[in-house]
């Protein structure tokens, strides 16, 4: 028997506003023997890439759906290496992408619901928590299901430089749509122009209402922000516009997502769709894995990532994310299997 450290990132306290030191704890007290731990018909996974994502902040609130449990590991999307398996369809040495507790080793008992990642496109494993993972799935599936894009439409993407928004920008351009995209720094605006966005602006220094008045009305709104941005988009919407509510990061720390212009849903016959990507997996996941990794490998879908190291990197990445420090996908790497 050889015990090794099974480090984990635990939820220590409910944040008061922004995440602060001590809300998450890097716990190294647990041990595991990877060779003998019972699998009970499941698989043993070693996590190698973690995916800090905005929705994780909502799970740190007491009313999260469901909330994280104090003293227990936080959960998030990850790529993991299969160490051992008692499931015939999942072989040791393959990789899995799913929602997991953030610790070095995890016994996953219901592995018959999972499928290995073949990675026939040969892209880095970090991409499978970004453009080829949950954020890419969110963009690809939400756009296909709700955008109903037509050539010549005008689309506005808020928070467009993130991993979801930047993918949506490219999907819209592939459909012949004029793209208005907002971000919070010059480097992010440059990135969006490189992706093909037609109009980019810094929401911190430029009037959103004036941009939409000049460049709209908008037919499609992909919302990552909520609040005042959603309010302005409702006012600038065209008749029959489609609103895709992906996230409301503007209110994750404050809980304030107040909107005044909802009556435009009626007067402009706006369709508004909120969604969680897992509800679209049955319809689109097979096509996603057939199409998107190859598009990434061929350079037809571009993506950007910033790599952090270890469990401490998850906390730093979440902090940077909500402070708008970096463009693209933030990932934390634990190993290189």
Report whether the peptide linkage leading into residue 217 is cis, meaning its omega lies within 30 degrees of zero: yes
Segment holding 84, helix H or strand E? strand 75-85
Q: Please report the pLDDT score of residue 293 as a whole number.
A: 97
Contact criterion met (CB below 8 Å) for 297 and 121: yes
> Which residues, in sequence order, are CB contacts of 88 under 8 Å at separation 6+?
none
Q: Please report the pLDDT score of residue 252 as a whole number.
A: 47
CA 166 – CA 157 distance, rounded (Å): 9
Residue range 254-282: average pLDDT? 87
Condensed to tens digits (0 to 9), the pLDDT of residues 54-95 reads 889 889 988 877 789 999 999 999 999 999 999 999 999 999
Q: Please report the pLDDT score of residue 253 as a whole number.
A: 44
Q: Please report the pLDDT score of residue 251 as a whole number.
A: 46
CATH of region 135-278 = 3.40.50.720
Confidence band of 257 (pLDDT split at 50, 70, 90): low
CA 70 – CA 237 distance, rounded (Å): 43
Structure tokens at 113: 């619901």
Condensed to tens digits (0 to 9), the pLDDT of residues 222-246 reads 999 898 999 999 999 999 999 999 9
CATH 3.90.180.10 fits 4-130+303-333, yes or no: yes
CA 135 – CA 141 distance, rounded (Å): 10
Q: Counting Cβ atoms within 10 Å, is residue 197 exposed (0-12), middle (13-18) or buried (19+)?
A: buried
Condensed to tens digits (0 to 9), the pLDDT of residues 155-197 reads 999 999 999 999 999 999 999 999 999 999 999 999 999 999 9
CA 262 – CA 17 distance, rounded (Å): 27
Confidence band of 323 (pLDDT split at 50, 70, 90): confident
Q: Which of 119, 116, 128 is nearest to 91 (CA)?
A: 116
Q: Which of 291, 311, 287 is nearest to 301 (CA)?
A: 291
CA 106 – CA 82 distance, rounded (Å): 10
Residue ranges per domain, the chain? 4-130+303-333, 135-278
Q: Please report the pLDDT score of residue 249 as a whole number.
A: 65
pTM, whole model, 2 decimals?
Answer: 0.89
Q: Please report the pLDDT score of residue 235 as a whole number.
A: 96
Q: Please report the pLDDT score of residue 262 as a whole number.
A: 87
CA 279 – CA 146 distance, rounded (Å): 13
Q: Please report the pLDDT score of residue 42 as a whole number.
A: 95
CA 52 – CA 303 distance, rounded (Å): 16
């Amino acid at each position: 028997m050889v015990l090794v450290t099974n480090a984990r990132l635990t939820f220590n306290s409910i944040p008061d506003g922004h995440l602060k030191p001590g809300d998450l704890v890097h716990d190294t007290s647990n041990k595991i023997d990877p060779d003998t731990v019972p699998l009970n018909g499941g698989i043993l996974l070693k996590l190698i890439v973690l995916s800090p994502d905005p929705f994780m902040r909502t799970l740190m609130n007491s009313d999260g759906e469901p909330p994280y449990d104090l003293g227990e590991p936080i959960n998030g999307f990850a790529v993991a290496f299969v160490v051992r398996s008692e499931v015939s369809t999942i072989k040791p040495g393959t990789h899995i992408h799913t929602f997991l507790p953030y610790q070095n080793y995890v016994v996953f008992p219901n592995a018959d619901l999972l499928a290995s990642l073949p990675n026939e496109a040969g892209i880095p494993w970090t991409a499978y928590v970004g453009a080829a993972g949950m954020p890419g799935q969110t963009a690809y599936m939400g756009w296909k299901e709700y955008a109903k894009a037509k050539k010549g439409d005008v689309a506005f993407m808020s928070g467009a430089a993130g991993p979801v928004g930047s993918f949506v920008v490219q999907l819209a351009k592939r459909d012949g749509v004029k793209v208005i995209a907002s971000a919070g720094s010059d480097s992010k605006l440059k990135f969006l122009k490189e992706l093909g966005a037609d109009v980019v602006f810094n929401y911190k220094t430029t009037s959103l209402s004036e941009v939409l008045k000049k460049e709209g009305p908008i037919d499609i709104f992909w919302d990552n922000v909520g609040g005042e941005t959603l309010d302005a988009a409702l006012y600038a919407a065209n008749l029959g516009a489609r609103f895709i509510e992906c996230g409301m990061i503007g209110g994750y720390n404050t809980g304030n997502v107040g909107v005044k212009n909802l009556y435009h849903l009626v007067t402009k016959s706006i369709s508004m769709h909120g969604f969680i990507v897992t509800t679209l997996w049955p319809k689109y996941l097979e096509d996603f894995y057939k199409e998107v990794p190859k598009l990434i490998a061929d350079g037809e879908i571009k993506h950007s990532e910033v790599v952090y190291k270890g469990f401490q990197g998850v906390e730093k990445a979440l902090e940077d994310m909500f402070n708008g420090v970096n463009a693209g996908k933030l990932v934390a790497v634990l190993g290189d299997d």
